[in-house]
Structure 1
Amino acid sequence: MSSSNYFRSWIDRPHLDPNTRLLTEEYQRGITEFMGLVHRQPEAKTGMLRCPCSNCKNRKVIKEWDVWTHLYLSGFTRSYKIWYHHGETDYEHGSTSEPQPASVPKKKGRLVGLGRRSRSAAPSSAPPPYVDPEVLTAQLKDKDDRISALETQMAAQQAGYETQKRLNEQMMEMMKGMYPNEVFPNIQDP
């Protein structure tokens, strides 16, 4: 077998451990390597990145945090092993994900989107970012907790509304009993 079969093989394997439902160590190292490459690109300063998750498939440009979340939840696009959309210029391993000139759109006689490949990025002095899976899980749980709290608050408000409605109806019935000859307005719920 050639070495290209093993190159970034973590992309081909499940990204979540089936027992713990947490990222596998291999996948964590892989996305850390990916984000390290991304952070060395000038485009990273915008905070907006092309998302290589299995749903977006590099078609969407979204916030960096959302890219982390997508990669955590959905995994990496399986065929994207040479990260050419993210500035990678190392083609020694080969890949089926490398665009072929025939499939790249042309604009006024020149190929579009290939300029990034020819330049090499200066290495960054910052270490590649590492996100502890426990921290990421805690942050996702925190978002879930906030959503749950809002849902609880909405349910409490709805219950309060229902209680007030019932009290208003009881008050109206009492007033109709006290003043049987009076005509009261019939107000419907909005």
Structure 2
Amino acid sequence: MKLVGFVDPEGSVSLAFASCPVIVFGKSVPKKKGRLVGLGRRTRSVPPSSAPPPFVDPEVLTAQLKDKDDRISLLETQMAAQQAGYEAQRRLNQQMMEMMQRMYPNEVFPDVPDP
């Protein structure tokens, strides 16, 4: 026995156990955009491609773009400061390694790559 699903003329889905193939006669179900036959459901978060995009006031879009530009410039400033800090730490590490090699000339220090 296997689980068989079929769609009746009203469009509802029925499930049944059958030992032989089930043939459903009647009018076919018209295909509708955004409709799935079966147990699955289509998410409604994405409108169909033929729907016109919703109207958004240009001032709202301009404000959103300005906000995004401000956030991007803030992140770029933070990244530049972070990079300067990395460079300063790299120079300090190099000076410390040179000092250690002068203090202990017979020692072999591991070569640690910079981050």
Q: Post-superposition shift, 1:140?
A: 1.0
2:86 pairs with 1:86: no
2:80 pairs with 1:160: no
TM-score, normalised with respect to structure 2: 0.51
Give distance in 2, aligned partners of 1:189 and 1:168.
Answer: 9
* AA aligned opposite 1:48: V
Q: Post-superposition shift, 1:135?
A: 2.3
2:104 pairs with 1:175: no
Alignment of 1:49-68 (within 5 A): 49-50=47-48, 58=49
2:13 pairs with 1:48: no
Which 4+ stretches in 1 moved above 4 angstroms?
none
Identity, % of aligned positions:
71
Q: Which residue of 2 aligns with 1:141?
A: 66
More helix by share: 1
Q: Post-superposition shift, 1:171?
A: 0.7
Give distance in 1, aligned partners of 2:90 and 2:51.
Answer: 57
- CA displacement 1:30-82 (0-9 Å, x = unmatched): xxxxxxxxxxxx9xx923235xxxxxxx5xxxxxxxxxxxxxxxxxxxxxxxx
The alignment covers a number of residue pairs equal to 73
8 Å contact from structure 2 (residues 101, 107) kept in 1? yes
SS in 2 for 1:181: coil
Cα RMSD of the aligned pairs, angstroms, is 2.7
Q: Which residue of 1 aligns with 2:110?
A: 185
Residue 57 of structure 2: which of 132, 138, 147 is its match?
A: 132
8 Å contact from structure 2 (residues 90, 114) kept in 1? no
Structure 1 unaligned regions, length at least 5: 1-41, 51-57, 59-84, 88-128
Give distance in 2, aligned partners of 1:86 and 1:181.
Answer: 76
TM-score, normalised with respect to structure 1: 0.33
Q: Which residue of 1 aligns with 2:8?
A: none
